[in-house]
Amino acid sequence: MSVFRIQGGQRLSGSVAVQGAKNSVLPILAATVLARGECVLRNCPPLTDVEYTLDILRHMGCGVKREGGTVWVDASVPTDCVIPDELMREMRSSVIFLGPVLGRMGRAELTYPGGCELGPRPIDLHLAALRTLGAEIEERNGRLICQGELTGGSITLSLASVGATENAMLAAVAAKGTTTITNAAREPEIVELQEFLRTLGADVRGAGSSVIVIEGGKPLHGGEHTIRPDRIVAATYLSAVACAGGEGELLGVDWRQLSTVTAALVEAGCQVESGSDSIHIAVQEPLGAVRPLRTAPYPGFPTDAQAVVMAALCKAQGATVFVENMFESRYRHVDEISRMGADIRVEGRVAVVCGVPRLFGARVQATDLRGGAALVVAGLGAEGETVVSGTRHIRRGYGDLAGDLRALGAKIWLEEEIVI
Ligand code: EPZ
């Protein structure tokens, strides 16, 4: 079993280039199904979720090749429209294939993704959007069987869901006619998906705003794209420096994509300077508590940064209130961080972090991606050794967490632990 072994209590100092964004590369890989030619994606992060997605593309008959951070996908002749159960179980966000596969092949089949560590993960908005474009969707024995000729339509999302927006965009590109998506998610990953689709020859406009307009129905060709840096990984590394103290430089990052996170860290007492594509953070004094942090759709405070910023504030003087509005069960890291001496009280969607003078290294277990990263952040700010197990959760979203943090001066290693 692999673990992260951390010698905490050391101030950090260093710089690191931030990996490509998981939540950009996954929908973009799904979008390659729409291209009748080869797509080349650069700066793809080495994540297990990327590997699962490449396996789905292979299963569908696409040519797939990977060399380091570059991935080639050729969907000229896809042969299968069924997404295998075992891959759906590994990665529920595979539901993003529904739109592009249906749009390209006229049929798509997958098992219902179901809930995950964060609580229920419904896809009603995805299905409603596809039905608006003419899809016939049957839900039978836990499977979704979708078919039909797609035509443009007017989609209104009751929630600015990231995945539903992406699925609707990918289906609409194949649907004949004009599609309007209202109350679309505005995340940077949506803007990047639009950029990639336009590279393939699609007519997509408005991403980044609440209304996206797509003129669909024309065949798409292949294209090339370089994945942008991951704003949540950047938030994780900023939180690591904030928790451990010291200073750090993150390269390649657009500070505007995580301004709500940097604003909270500045309020806590960090010095943050942003360049055109870098962020520098320095922490001299003990941190202070900040005003309540409420997670919200972009450009609000990102739910994916909630756990790591919470870890950074565990030693802040005073109490910080977190309100998790996006997912039902996103405080599973709290019990584990509490084993390190943190004082956090959870009541439903509200968590109150009462700052303590010190954290102590402990053996802790990751149970989800960002909660697991938060345990590593807390370990860097704790005295003594911390061992984090459950690293498979963390490797879904961080290509080389230990290597990146060592570049920032941390004493952390990913090790195989022999369990006797
Ligand atoms: C994306 O998930 C991200 N995943 C998540 O990142 C991120 O936390 C989330 O967006 C919010 O920013 C990827 O991009 C692969 P949503 P997604 O649909 O699309 C409800 C990480 O750590 N909802 O915007 O699943 C849903 O239950 C992951 O990298 C419905 O009710 O998120 C949730 O409460 C975790 N019906 C809210 O909307 C639907 O049909 C927001 O979910 C769809 C969603």
- What would the pLDDT profile of 279-292 be if each residue is shown by its tens digit? 999 999 899 999 99
- Ligand 1 atom with the smallest distance to the CA of 26 is 15
On whether the CB atoms of residues 189 and 21 are closer than 8 A, the answer is: yes
Query: Rounded to whole angstroms, what are the CA distances from 246 to 46, 308, 357, 412?
Result: 28, 17, 17, 16
User: Given ligand 1 and candidates 92, 130, 161, which is best to mutate, with the most ligand atoms within 8 Å of its CB?
Assistant: 161
Confidence of residue 324 (pLDDT cuts 50, 70, 90): very high
Handedness of CA 168, 172, 173, 175 (dihedral sign): positive
- Ligand 1 atom 4: residue of nearest CA: 23
- The C-alpha angle 393, 394, 398, rounded to 5 degrees, equals 140
**What pLDDT sits at residue 112?**
86
Q: Pick the residue whose CA is nearest to atom 16 on ligand 1.
A: 161
Q: What is the pLDDT of residue 418?
A: 76
pLDDT of 123 over the 90 cut:
yes
**Which atom belonging to ligand 1 lies closest to the Cα atom of 327?**
34
Pocket of ligand 1 from Cβ distances under 6 Å: 22-23, 26, 93, 121-126, 159, 161-164, 185, 303-304, 326-327, 369-370, 397
Report the percent of the chain where pLDDT is more than 90.
Answer: 92
Strands laid side by side in the 271-274 sheet: 12-17, 246-251, 278-283, 271-274
Q: What is the pLDDT of residues 135-169, one digit of tens each?
A: 999 998 889 999 999 999 999 999 999 999 999 99
Mean pLDDT of 35-45: 98
Tokens of 254: 């657009």
How far, in Å, CA of 322 to CA of 346, rounded?
Answer: 9
Amino acid code (one letter) for 386: T
| Residue 114: band (very low, low, confident or very high) from pLDDT cuts 50, 70, 90 | confident
pLDDT of residue 88: 86
Position 166 scores a pLDDT of 98
Distance 384 CA to ligand 1 centre (A): 36
pLDDT (mean) for 297-325: 98
Q: Ligand 1: which atom is nearest the Cα of residue 189?
A: 14
419: pLDDT strictly greater than 90: no
How confident is the model at residue 174, as a pLDDT?
98
Residue minimizing CA distance to atom 41 of ligand 1: 161
**Is the pLDDT reported for residue 21 higher than 80?**
yes
Tell me the per-residue pLDDT of 161-200, one tens digit each, with 9 for 90 and over: 999 999 999 999 999 999 999 999 999 999 999 999 999 9
Edge-to-edge order in the sheet of strand 38-42: 63-67, 70-74, 38-42, 223-226
323, 295 Cβ separation under 8 angstroms: yes
**Contact yes or no for 274/265 (Cβ under 8 A):** no
Say how far apart CA 403 and CA 411 lie, in whole Å: 10
As annotated, the active-site residues are: 116
Q: Whose C-alpha lies nearest to ligand 1, atom 18?
A: 161
The answer on pLDDT for 420 being more than 80 is no
Which atom of ligand 1 is the closest one to the Cα of 118?
Answer: 35
Nearest CA to ligand 1 atom 44: 161
Which of 22, 23, 328 should be mutated for ligand 1, with most atoms under 8 A from CB? 23
pLDDT tens for each residue of 386-414: 999 999 999 999 999 999 999 999 999 99
Question: What is the pLDDT at residue 1?
Answer: 87
C-alpha of residue 69 to centroid of ligand 1, in Å = 26
Instruction: Output the pLDDT for position 113.
Output: 84
Is 90 exceeded by the pLDDT of residue 116?
no
Q: Report how far ligand 1's centroid is from the alpha carbon of 387 (Å).
A: 29
* pLDDT band of 357, cuts 50, 70, 90: very high
**Which atom of ligand 1 is nearest to 123's Cα?**
40
How many angstroms is it from 118 CA to the middle of ligand 1?
10
